[in-house]
Structure 1
Amino acid sequence: MIFLSNSLISPGVGTIFWSTAIFLLFFFILAKFAWKPILNMIKQREETIKNSLDAAAQAREEVVKLKGDNEEILRKAKEEREIMLKEARDIRDKMMAEARDKASIEAEKLISKAKNDIELEKTKALSEIKDQVATLSVAIASKLIGEQLSKGAEQQKLIDKYLKDINVN
């Protein structure tokens, strides 16, 4: 064992030569066939990571932009809602005012018609009262005078004459 351990501690020229030759051959084979694909994979991985980081940064910017756009859209929607509510209130108030005015006009028409109807009925009632008073007056007068008019037309003329003379309101 001592023999083996001594040769490892102080290698000979042949061992150094063959170790160097094998190392260079292995290095050449790796450089020719393995280093380019390994370096390409490392470069590809580096580009993938860089692209991923760029995409993440761009996504963050897009999220911030979308958040701002979303807030702007919400603000505009609130403004439009307020405008629509105001317009609806204005339309409601206008419709209520129109209905109130229409009801007031309708009430005035009804009151006016009722007054006209009352006046017409009053006129009719006064006319009927005048006719009855005239008939009673003629009856009383004929009894008092003792004479009775023979014809109805003459009686009516006399009634109309007395009614014109008397102004009863």
Structure 2
Amino acid sequence: MEQLFEGLLNHHIGFVVWSGLAFLILLLLLKKLAWKPILGAIHERELSIETALASAENAKAEMARLTSQNEALLNQARAERDLILKEAKELKDKIVAEAKNSAEVEGAKMIEKARVEIESQKAAALADVKNQVSTLSIEIAEKILRRQFEDQSKQEALVSDLLKEVKLN
């Protein structure tokens, strides 16, 4: 068997050498022509993936920063809105209170003016009534006196009655 192996080995040694040499040449050609471009492409792909991941991380960090900044702006806007609403409510309450006070003062003035007007009209009406009563009284007295003075005996009786009253007082 050893002979067989040696025979095969001797017989095929040239084939093994040429095959090994062809393999080495193929390996050198692949290294020069294929491995460098393949490894370069893999390296470039690796770099682009790392760049994309770094960009994604940067974008994520920027998004987190913008989100927190937006949240802060939103909170600030809410605080400003609450302050504006509070100031508007206070202003409204102040205006309503001033209008109420003004209306009360104006109402009191109008009531006082109406009371004074009523009093003056009442006094004028009383004066007018007194004038009318006195005028009517004089007219009535005049009519009564004319009737009484038409008759001479009634005149003398009136004078004597008046004299009696004067003496009594």
Distance 1:103 1:14 in 2: 126
Q: Give the structure 2 partner of residue 30 of structure 1.
A: 30
Q: Per-residue deviation at 1:36?
A: 1.9
Query: Normalization by structure 2: what TM-score?
Result: 0.72
Kindly provide the CA deviation profile for residues 64-104 of structure 1, in whole angstroms up to 9, marking residues without a partner as x: 21221122022112101111210220121022112212221
Q: Per-residue deviation at 1:141?
A: 4.5
Distance 2:109 2:5 in 1: 136
RMSD: 2.6
Q: What amino acid sits opposite 2:129 in the alignment?
A: I
Q: Which runs of 4+ in 1 moved over 4 A?
A: 9-12, 143-147
Distance 2:127 2:9 in 1: 160
Q: Give the structure 2 partner of residue 164 of structure 1.
A: none
Q: Give the structure 1 partner of residue 114 of structure 2.
A: 114
Q: What amino acid sits opposite 1:22 in the alignment?
A: A
Distance 2:60 2:122 in 1: 91
Stretches of structure 2 lacking an aligned partner (at least 5 in a row): 148-169
Q: What amino acid sits opposite 2:125 in the alignment?
A: A
Query: Normalization by structure 1: what TM-score?
Result: 0.72
The residue correspondences of 1:95-110 to structure 2 (distance < 5 A) are 95-110=95-110
Select the structure of larger CA radius of gyration: 2
Stretches of structure 1 lacking an aligned partner (at least 5 in a row): 148-169
Distance 1:108 1:122 in 2: 20
Q: Give the structure 2 partner of residue 83 of structure 1.
A: 83
Kindly provide the CA deviation profile for residues 94-133 of structure 1, in whole angstroms up to 9, marking residues without a partner as x: 2211221222122123202211220121121121122023
Q: Per-residue deviation at 1:49?
A: 1.3
Q: What amino acid sits opposite 1:51 in the alignment?
A: T
Q: Give the structure 2 partner of residue 74 of structure 1.
A: 74
Q: What amino acid sits opposite 2:28 in the alignment?
A: F
Identity %: 40
Kindly provide the CA deviation profile for residues 19-51 of structure 1, in whole angstroms up to 9, marking residues without a partner as x: 221012101211221122111101111101111
Distance 2:37 2:27 in 1: 15
The residue correspondences of 1:119-130 to structure 2 (distance < 5 A) are 119-130=119-130
Q: Give the structure 2 partner of residue 63 of structure 1.
A: 63
Distance 1:121 1:77 in 2: 64
Q: What amino acid sits opposite 1:142 in the alignment?
A: E
- Does residue 19 (structure 1) correspond to residue 19 (structure 2)? The answer is yes
Distance 1:126 1:10 in 2: 161
Q: Give the structure 1 partner of residue 132 of structure 2.
A: 132
